[in-house]
A and B are shown apart, each in its own frame.
Chain A
Amino acid sequence: MLQSPVQGTVARLTVRGLLGSRRGILLAVVPVLLLMMSAVAAATSGDKHDLTVTILGRLGLGTLVPLLGLVVGTGVIATEIDDGSIVYLLAKPLPRWRIVTTKLIVAVLTTWLFSAVPTLLGGLLLYGTRDGLAFALTLGTMVAGAAYSALFLLLGVASRNAVVIGLGYALIWESLIGNFVKGARTLSIQQWGLSVAKAVASSGSLTADVALGAAVPLLLVVTAAATVLASVKLAGLTLASED
């Protein structure tokens, strides 16, 4: 019998761990910021197309989505591994891959809720439905958010320094090196998301450095491979002591 990839109780506990107590408020900074900036920008007289790309593309997709993916992706599993409470979950008669898929789906949905929804609302507020820009950026945010979640979940299972490594990837590789070295952008989830967005928006309204033919397979491969690897890693997890 084929099992559903989501296990209800695990999903419920993960959501509670992610959004419970005050942590949900911290994640809410992302949508609040995006909507506030969009509202402020909508009130100014500047070039709306430029502003939309700057706020939702550069600030949103370029900075906030990786950070959100990092907090959520590591938050669903690395915190449990860190404080050792994962053993109670691992001791249950559940296949390990179902734990990973459940947590991944919770992470992806949370990332979408906190980044894609405000991107759509902000885009509509700023630029309306012209050029399909709002929908395009929303779709780009969604695919990038899913890939970031999967990648950072894998990091959370594989390393105790997941957050630092993830920051290194998102900030140093994608932003700093990607700014100077054009080739580095080929291996950047952010650029893959932009590429998908560019394909959806009417031509000329967005620019991306990676061709769609490369971006879509890369996105799929990274997301799938990260999920599989995380399952394998979790299956053989040893709880090392804190250094």
Chain B
Amino acid sequence: MPTPSDRPAATAPGTGVIHDIGYRSYQGPRLGRSYATRSLFVQGLRGAFGLGRSGRSKVLPMLILAAMVLPAGMLVALTVFQQRADLPVDYPQYLSSFGLFVEIFLAAQAPVLLSRDLRNGTMPLYFSRPITRADYVRAKAAAMVAALLIVTVLPLLALYAGALLAGLDFVHSTEHLGYGLLAAVLYSVVLSAVGLLIAAGTPRRGFGVAAIMGFLVVSSGVATVLEGLSDRSGGGSASGSAADWAYLISPDDLVDRFVNHVCGLVRTVPTSIGDTPGTLGALVFGLEMLLIVAGAYALLLRRYRKI
């Protein structure tokens, strides 16, 4: 490689001079693929809560976070004032009661993570960096799951801290917190899978929001009606009956009922807690969740293979 000193500095006196300062390539450290992926993850996670964006995009995520955590504080206050021996709502039930907020968070923020890149044509910019398509999908999926985990785990921790401060039984509380955390992880992973897959399909944000929410709400509504139908014709209306197979079509009921069955919550309080149809049902519900997550991830990878 010729260095600048090899070249004649000037040709003839009195004429213009072009200095050859040489081409220097970047010599510093290269942070590489994993660093870029990590950056994308952090940026996605911050973006999900509107951090680093305009004030207006912080409003909704923060409102939902407050709507998830504040009722937990109120429940704890209720427990203390009434000197109850247990929390009014069990940890997994807390998540299923406030599941609507989690779903709205997902519906609002999954398109923020994916649709905006598609719409603004920034995908080529990402792929001009050392990250691969699979890295992009991995980072975005991890960011969505982590954001949902924050939304679901934070109120559980608030409940747990409150329960301990109120002097409730430590072992019982910790055990049920564990159930709640299992539910939180499953909700986050399964709902993210559904939400991201739908969001990746449309560059329009509003449309993505409506499609995700519509799918979750309608599938749950249809499942409830179907359960009512087969209950009436079958005669049995007890929880854990064959009619509960209807909930196979609704992702959030899938998680709720699976956790209730696996953690044995149905036995302690027989009413009003949804169950899977027997042990076989729990197995099928679990398998379906696995299938949803793996299938959605594979489809996402396929979606981003050519873009």
Contacts and interface: CB of A to CB of B under 8 A. Distances in A.
> A and B, one complex?
yes
A41 B229 contact: yes
Contact of B206 (A29, A162, A176): A162
Contact of A71 (B53, B60, B104, B210): B210
B232 A82 contact: no
B108 interface: yes
A202 to B, nearest CB: 23
Q: Which of B104, B116, B229 has the most CB of A within 10 A?
A: B229
Interface string B127-165: 000000000000000000000000000000000000000
B181 interface: no
B218 A82 contact: no
Contact of A163 (B209, B228, B230, B233): B209
Contacts of A79: 204, 206-207
B233 A44 contact: yes
Contacts of A242: 116, 120
Q: SS class of chain A's interface: helix, strand, loop or mixed? A: helix
B211 interface: yes
Given A54-B225, A82-B204, A162-B206, A46 B233 contact: yes
A58 B222 CA distance: 10
Of the listed residues A62, A64, A161, the one surrounded by the most CB atoms of chain B closer than 10 A to its CB is A161
Contacts of A47: 232
Interface string A18-50: 000001001001000100010011001111000
Interface in B78-132: 100, 104, 107-108, 116, 120
B108 A164 contact: yes
A167 B213 contact: yes
Contacts of A161: 56, 60, 108
A161 B59 CA distance: 11
Contact of B221 (A23, A51, A59): A59
Interface in B220-272: 221-222, 225-226, 228-230, 232-233
A46 B213 CA distance: 30
B43 interface: no
Given A37-B225, A82-B206, A163-B206, A243 B211 contact: no
Contacts of B228: 51, 54
A172 B210 CA distance: 15
Interface in A71-87: 71, 74-75, 78-79, 82-83
A168 interface: yes
Contact of A59 (B210, B213, B225): B225
A183 B108 CA distance: 28
Task: Report the contact-size class of chain A (Cβ under 8 Å from the partner).
Answer: 35 or more
A120 interface: no
Interface string B195-218: 000000000111101110110011
A26 B104 contact: no
B217 A63 contact: yes
A176 B218 contact: no
Contacts of B100: 171-172, 175-176
A37 B233 contact: no
A44 B226 CA distance: 11
A55 interface: yes
B54 interface: yes
Given A33-B218, A163-B206, A40 B54 contact: no
B100 to A, nearest CB: 6
B104 A167 contact: yes
Contacts of A33: 218, 222
Contacts of A64: 218
Contacts of B204: 79, 82-83
Query: 5 closest A-B pairs (Cβ-Cβ)?
Result: A46-B232, A163-B206, A243-B54, A163-B209, A44-B233
Given A163-B209, A171-B104, 17 more contacts: A26-B211, A33-B218, A44-B232, A45-B233, A51-B228, A51-B232, A55-B225, A64-B218, A70-B210, A79-B204, A82-B206, A161-B60, A164-B108, A168-B104, A171-B217, A172-B100, A176-B100
